[in-house]
Amino acid sequence: MLRWVIFIVVYLAVAFYTLQALKTVTKHQWVYYTFVAVTLLIIGNFIYQFTIGEEGRVLSRPKSYAFGFLVAILAFMTINLILLFSEDIFRFLSAIYYRISGKHTEFTIPSRRRFLSMVALGVAALPFSALLYGMYRGKYNFKVLKYNLEFDDLPNGFDGYQITQISDIHSGSFDNEEKISYAIDLINEQKSDVLFFTGDMVNNKAEEMKPWATLFSKLNAKDGKFSILGNHDYGDYVDWDTEEEKSQNLIELKKLQKEIGFDLLLNESRYLEKSGDKLALIGVENWGRGGFKKAGDLQKAKSNIDKNDFKILLSHDPSHWEDQVIGDDYHYHLTLSGHTHGMQFGIEIPGWIKWSPVKWRYKYWAGVYEEMGQYINVNRGFGFLGYPGRVGIWPEITVITLKKKSLT
């Protein structure tokens, strides 16, 4: 209860600063009343959703939107606070100077400058607008990212072999069938040889995927569709009544994956064959650093393949690659992961900048990386979770073409 009181007091204090900026810029009282009404509505809804709303540690759709609007308004108000508080310090120091120097007979703080308030509101409007756009359009702004990866020892039959990877569907967050249908068509338009899904089909429960199963069953790939589990697929973030109920949920999810047409790899392997050559496909259950589920068993998963095979590993969390895969005595040519979502927020300009706060948590957080002659692609995610949108880090469909490295 105390933390809610502290949070509300801080929130209202930050809102007060923004209100002062509005009063400096305009004399229209309806602007003040609108701002007050919006800020109170947002904090009221947030408190309701996280106290009386649905239980569980993972954000439901109503909770997500309550969180999203709170983040947007806090970004707006915090930037105003930083800029205006800086001005207040200057105003206070100026008042002291004028009093000590004798220029003023009384201690008088100069008035807030209208221009600086306008600048503060204008700067604050940029992230506020971006966050609202991310909730409205950004979360379905699907991008196809294509990579060519060359290998000395790629079997000849797989030269030019094309892979499509998707990850982190998080079907419980979807709210637009038309946009998801468009994304499914976009995946199929790539006409890849094989399709890999690298975990997190749902947020909490298998039932979240049921309304979308028919749509996802339309996914096509000549050599099959393969999948693994992510940390959200186990139902660990739900307060189940019994362990049996939790176990049944995972059984239902595995059944759904099969109905959709995925070959779910649970610490096991398969061989893909092309023109008389073969490629080893290994899929591990989730293994994540920092408190995430560690059901992945790489030793078990690789037990039926040869050390000299060309290998593709499906592993949901890129920390697994960093902590266990790179140093393994088997050489995993390509690992496909997801999990990070690129934090759904950042700045990416190809060839110029690639940044997201998630880089402070994960060394390998988006795109292709190479270490010790082994590659990993960390997919930015198909869906979204928590904040119900994306800003700068768009939902991704990865297309990777395997190439035989030329000897010349």
- Report DSSP letters for 314-372, one per residue: E-S-HHHIIIIITTSSS--SEEEE--SGGGGB-EEETTTEEE-GGGGT-SS-SEEEEET
Same domain, yes or no: 159 and 291: yes
162, containing H or E segment: strand 161-166
Choosing from 106, 136, 166, the residue where a domain stops is 136
CB within 8 Å of 104: residues ≥ 6 apart: 95, 98
Q: Which of 301, 303, 299, 306 is nearest to 279 (CA)?
A: 306
Residues 193 and 332 in one domain: yes
Q: From the centroid of its chain, how far is CA 257? A: 22
Give 349's strand partners. 353
Query: Do 193 and 105 belong together in one domain?
Result: no
Same domain flag for 146 and 125? no
Does pLDDT of 108 surpass 70? no
pLDDT of residue 406: 80
DSSP-derived secondary structure for 90-133: HHHHHHHHHHHHTS-SS--PPPPPHHHHHHHHHHHHHHHHHHHH
Identify the H or E element spanning 150: strand 143-151
Same structural domain, 254 and 383: yes
How do residues 6-49 score in pLDDT, each as one tens digit?
999 999 989 988 888 888 888 888 999 999 999 999 999 999 98
* Structure confidence by residue, pLDDT tens digits, 327-338: 999 999 999 999
Task: Report residue 121's pLDDT band, with 50, 70 and 90 as the boundaries.
Answer: confident
Domain co-membership, 338 together with 239? yes
| Number of residues in the chain | 408
Residue with tokens 């004399």: 27
Paired residues of 311 in beta bridges: 280
Proportion of the chain in helix, strand, coil states, percent, rounded to 5: 45, 20, 35
E strands, 199-346, are 225-227, 263-264, 268-274, 277-283, 311-314, 334-337
Distance from C-alpha of 73 to C-alpha of 81, rounded to nearest angstrom: 12
Gap between the Cα atoms of 348 and 341, Å rounded = 14
Residues 129 and 207 in one domain: no
* 251 and 359 within one domain: yes
Q: How many domains in the chain?
A: 2
- Of the three residues 136, 153, 188, the one that is the final residue of a domain is 136
* Mean pLDDT rounded to a whole number for the chain: 91
For residues 212 and 260, give the distance between their C-alpha atoms in angstroms, rounded to a whole number: 10
Partnered with residue 312 across adjacent β-strands are 281, 334
Q: Is residue 168 domain-shared with residue 113, that is, in the same domain?
A: no
| Residue span of the structural domain in which 216 resides | 142-404
Q: What is the CATH number for 214? A: 3.60.21.10
State pTM to two decimals.
0.91
Mean pLDDT of the 90-101 span:
61
Per DSSP, the three-state class of 160 is coil
Angle at 298 between CA 268 and CA 154, to 5 degrees: 75
| Average confidence (pLDDT) over 301-323 | 97
Tell me: do 174 and 223 sit in the same domain.
yes
Positive or negative, the CA dihedral 129, 130, 131, 134 is: positive
In the chain, the amino acid numbered 110 is P
Which is nearest to 288 in space by CA: 239, 238, 225, 361? 361
State the average pLDDT over residues 298-308: 96
Terminal CA-CA length for the chain: 70
> Which pLDDT score, from 0 to 100, does residue 161 have?
97
Residues 69, 187, single domain; the answer is no
Q: Which of residues 136, 154, 179 is at a domain's end?
A: 136
Rg over CA atoms, the chain: 26
| Percent of residues, the chain, with pLDDT higher than 70 | 91
Q: Is the pLDDT of residue 102 over 60?
A: no
Q: What is the pLDDT of residues 131-170, one digit of tens each?
A: 999 999 999 999 999 999 999 999 999 999 999 999 999 9
Residue 280 pLDDT greater than 90, yes or no: yes
Instruction: In whole angstroms, give the CA distance from residue 20 to residue 130.
Output: 23
The answer on pLDDT for 106 being more than 80 is no
What's the pLDDT tens digit per position in 251-262?
A: 999 999 999 999
Three-state secondary structure call for residue 348: strand
- What is the tens place of the pLDDT at every residue in 390-402? 999 999 999 999 9
Let me know whether 299 and 382 are in one domain: yes
Half-sphere exposure of 201 (CA within 13 A, CB side): 31
